[in-house]
């Protein structure tokens, strides 16, 4: 008779489960690319300056999307603010706000 063994550790609800990813390495890679783009502009590629500035907007939008996603996962404003080094009120004011 085949029996399926139950896991020894309790299941983490999908709502709060975090898959292991190499966030530090990924962020370092992104920083290297942005810095390299800046050096390219500084070396005389004036046409790429507008693209470099546009990255700032893309990063702000990505942060907003990340915060919305974390809130949907159940993270509190306090947890988010702590990770960013700001108060929960500051985080909520910047990314929360109920839209009419």
**Tens of pLDDT along 6-24?**
555 545 455 556 666 678 8
Q: How far is residue 85's CA from residue 91's CA, in Å, rounded to a whole number?
A: 10
State the pLDDT at residue 1: 53
Measured between alpha carbons, how far is 26 from 4 in angstroms, rounded to an integer? 37
**Is 13 contained in some domain?**
no
Domain count for the chain, please give it: 1
Is residue 77 in a domain? yes
**75 found inside a domain:** yes
Q: What is the DSSP letter of 48?
A: G
Q: Is residue 76 part of a domain?
A: yes
Is residue 14 domain-resident? no
- pLDDT (tens digit, 9 = 90+) per residue, 45-91? 999 999 999 999 999 999 999 999 999 999 999 999 999 999 999 99
Specify the DSSP class assigned to residue 86: S
pLDDT computed for residue 23 by the predictor:
84
Domain encompassing residue 87: 23-95
- According to the model, what pLDDT value does residue 58 have? 94
- Spatial contact of 19 and 73, defined as CB atoms under 8 Å apart: no
Q: pTM of the prediction? A: 0.68
């Amino acid at each position: 008779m085949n029996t399926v063994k139950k896991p020894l550790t309790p299941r983490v609800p999908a709502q709060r489960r975090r898959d292991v990813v190499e966030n530090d390495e990924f962020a370092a890679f992104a920083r290297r690319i942005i810095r390299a783009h800046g050096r390219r502009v500084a070396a005389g590629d004036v046409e790429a300056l507008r693209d470099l500035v546009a990255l700032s907007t893309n990063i702000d939008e990505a942060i907003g999307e990340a915060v919305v996603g974390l809130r949907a996962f159940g993270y509190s404003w306090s947890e988010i603010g702590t990770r960013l080094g700001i108060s929960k009120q500051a985080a909520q004011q910047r990314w929360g706000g109920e839209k009419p």
